[in-house]
Structure 1
Amino acid sequence: MDVSKVDKEKYVEKIVEEMISSPSQKDSDEMHESIEEKVASIYAEVIEKHKRKPVRSVDKMIEILRREYKLLVDRKLVTLVVAAFLAGRPVLFEGPPGTGKTEIGEAILSLWAGKPALIIPCSENYDEYRVIGDFHPLMALRYGFNEKSFIPRPLLAALILDTGVLVDEIRRSNEEFQNMLLDIIDKRRIIVPELRRVFRAKGEGFQVIFTSNPEDYAQSELSDAFLRRVVRIPFSYPPPDVEAEIVKLRYDIDVELDSKILEAMIQVVSILRQKAAYKPGPADTVLWARIAGRLAKLRGKQQVTVSEVVDAATIILYKRVGEEEIVDETIERVFGLHP
């Protein structure tokens, strides 16, 4: 073995030992940094720049959702969410993809708390360490298993900052993860045994919205214990007139989209929701309109024509291999033009 390499490794080991056994004054001071201070320093840029006065009025929330977020949200839905929050209960938005569950949930949570909501996208390997916090290996080696080496994650941060958290696609998580959430949503507290600390929600800003698509494949079922603790609000595809209004609200280019063409586009997605495995949601309809508008502008047109709509359909509605024929047949049936 190369002697110089051995000497270098020994030198590094010696430095690490000295750092662990004799921390500098600055390091010693940093060891007393609390979890609250750490959360503030990590998430301040996300939270502080977008703070506003909390919105607790249903009417005002609906108006801001439409004006600022470009979201057309049913009054009953907003009222139910506000009522659940006032009762200290989390909410479960359940329904097909593309119906606005995540976007609406994040917006309502942010308005309610007056601070941006934090988002946790679930997967089957999620555990408490990914959402509450964990010890950084190197820092734990140097400082020990204490607050200095503990890295807070979004769920704990949201509770400390008194803001909302959206847990996206909860059915993709495992049963152990769901069980871990029960005490948190029931008692509004997070216990970190390694730190011998109990963190409690100090205000009404900390609220939780879960989203779920029960028709998705390879997902776990939600337990009765979990369902008892949440207020379930179902989502569905909107009626054609409401979907048209959503598209108009979110259409963002200065090229005219004729109402007759928009009506035909909504007819296409309605048929595909019945026939195809991939069922386009309102989000797909909005994107379809936006792409068609941009195609028209690139071609020097002031108005979207059937040509742009059909061309845009090929990149928006072709989602599953083998279903292109169903999409083509539907477009030809409605527009009289084959892609």
Structure 2
Amino acid sequence: MGEENNPDNAMESVEEKVVNIYSEIMSKYKRKPIRNVNKMMEILKTEYKLLVDKKLVTLVVAAFLAGRPVLFEGPPGTGKTEIGEAILTLWAGKPALVIPCSENYDEYRVIGDFHPLMAFKYGFNEKSFIPRPLLAALILDAGVLVDEIRRSNEEFQNMLLDIIDKRRIIVPELRKIFYAKGEGFQVIFTSNPEDYAQSELSDAFLRRVVRIPFNYPPPEVEIEIIRLRYDVDVELEPKILEGMVQVVNLLRQKAAYKPGPADTVLWSRIAGRLASLRGKQQVTVSEVVDAATIVLYKRVGEEEIVDEALEKVFGLHP
């Protein structure tokens, strides 16, 4: 058989590889891009069960229209990652790709790398090249959420910014330049400035992003978030719910681990399931306190702080 007819030598382009690798993910979401703020707000609430401030959504859309990446910065559990991924998905009309950062991340982990055995056999070309999420998102015109950007190094941050500025990715080994072909390719970064063992964001990075701060919501909004995301057919009385929000606000003042709305939502869901398993029609203080031991006990040595908050609000502790 001639070498040119050998299927092993068929050259699959990088673009074809991206489509083949990510087709299953992309096929799970079929909707046209949504650029209207009010429509986006409606879908975030009804389909994603996310209560998002209209000003925040408007600022993100404005930044995308101006061709700027966005930085969501604030404490954990406030919805940065979930909200960012949802907005990117709605904006592009395709599922957003998520890149969780760590200190050893480099271009090979997010752009692409060469399979060692394939490169040995066929050389450093498109046949042995494996595209990674950032390059895939650019080719597919999809959004990218870069999670916990502060955990990466400055070199990695600057590499990303060059790509965002030019809306292109250069792969020297392939002698190819890949360009974004539409407005769907947008980036949202998330960051928790209070996290330990992380690097500072460079001035070059901060100059190029639009920063949107996140914080814990006021009690009435947190209660609305819990009600929106509560998914158990067991009644959760307003008084119980208000008490749970009081507890987490006490912990945010005193504990090293500060529970976010995501923790409060999980707490309510587990309490509801405990009540259901016990044959009850509504959540009682007993379920709330029992659920707290697996949701709010996060750091060794802080159990007493949680117990004190539970006793202060509910008059009962584990």
Work out whether residues 185 and 229 of structure 1, in 8 Å CA contact, stay in contact via their aligned partners in 2.
Answer: no
Q: Distance in 1 between matches of 2:161 and 2:64?
A: 16
Q: Distance in 1 between matches of 2:191 and 2:4?
A: 48
Runs (5+) with no aligned partner, structure 2: none
Q: Distance in 2 between matches of 1:198 and 1:183?
A: 13
- The equivalent of 1:28 in structure 2 is 9
Q: Distance in 2 between matches of 1:80 and 1:319?
A: 34
2:123 is the alignment partner of 1:144: yes
Work out whether residues 73 and 190 of structure 2, in 8 Å CA contact, stay in contact via their aligned partners in 1.
Answer: yes
Q: Distance in 2 between matches of 1:22 and 1:159?
A: 33
Work out whether residues 111 and 132 of structure 2, in 8 Å CA contact, stay in contact via their aligned partners in 1.
Answer: yes
Runs (5+) with no aligned partner, structure 1: 1-20
Instruction: Name the % identity.
Output: 84
Q: Distance in 1 between matches of 2:297 and 2:130?
A: 42
- In the TM superposition, residue 338 of structure 1 has moved relative to its aligned partner by 1.8
- What is the alpha-carbon root mean square deviation over aligned residues? 1.1
- Report the 3-state secondary structure (helix = DSSP H, G, I; strand = E; otherwise coil) of the residue aligned with 2:113: strand
The one-letter code matched in structure 1 to 2:98 is I
Work out whether residues 113 and 130 of structure 2, in 8 Å CA contact, stay in contact via their aligned partners in 1.
Answer: yes
2:229 is the alignment partner of 1:288: no
The one-letter code matched in structure 1 to 2:175 is R
* Corresponding pairs, count: 317
- In the TM superposition, residue 51 of structure 1 has moved relative to its aligned partner by 2.5
Q: Distance in 1 between matches of 2:65 and 2:104?
A: 32
Q: Distance in 2 between matches of 1:28 and 1:322?
A: 61
The one-letter code matched in structure 1 to 2:41 is I
2:256 is the alignment partner of 1:277: yes
- Report the 3-state secondary structure (helix = DSSP H, G, I; strand = E; otherwise coil) of the residue aligned with 1:198: strand
The C-alpha deviation readout for 1:168-211, integer Å capped at 9, x for no partner, is 00000111111211211111111111111111111000000000
- Report the 3-state secondary structure (helix = DSSP H, G, I; strand = E; otherwise coil) of the residue aligned with 1:167: strand
Work out whether residues 150 and 200 of structure 2, in 8 Å CA contact, stay in contact via their aligned partners in 1.
Answer: yes
- The equivalent of 1:57 in structure 2 is 36
- The equivalent of 1:251 in structure 2 is 230
Of structures 1 and 2, the larger Rg is shown by 1
2:251 is the alignment partner of 1:301: no
The one-letter code matched in structure 2 to 1:270 is N
Q: Distance in 2 between matches of 1:96 and 1:159?
A: 29
Bigger mean CA offset, 82-91 vs 178-187? 178-187
Work out whether residues 3 and 9 of structure 2, in 8 Å CA contact, stay in contact via their aligned partners in 1.
Answer: no
Work out whether residues 51 and 116 of structure 1, in 8 Å CA contact, stay in contact via their aligned partners in 2.
Answer: no
- The equivalent of 1:265 in structure 2 is 244
- In the TM superposition, residue 78 of structure 1 has moved relative to its aligned partner by 0.1
Counterparts of 1:59-208 in structure 2, within 5 Å, are: 59-208=38-187
Q: Distance in 2 between matches of 1:223 and 1:300?
A: 55
Q: Distance in 1 between matches of 2:268 and 2:122?
A: 56
Work out whether residues 137 and 143 of structure 2, in 8 Å CA contact, stay in contact via their aligned partners in 1.
Answer: yes
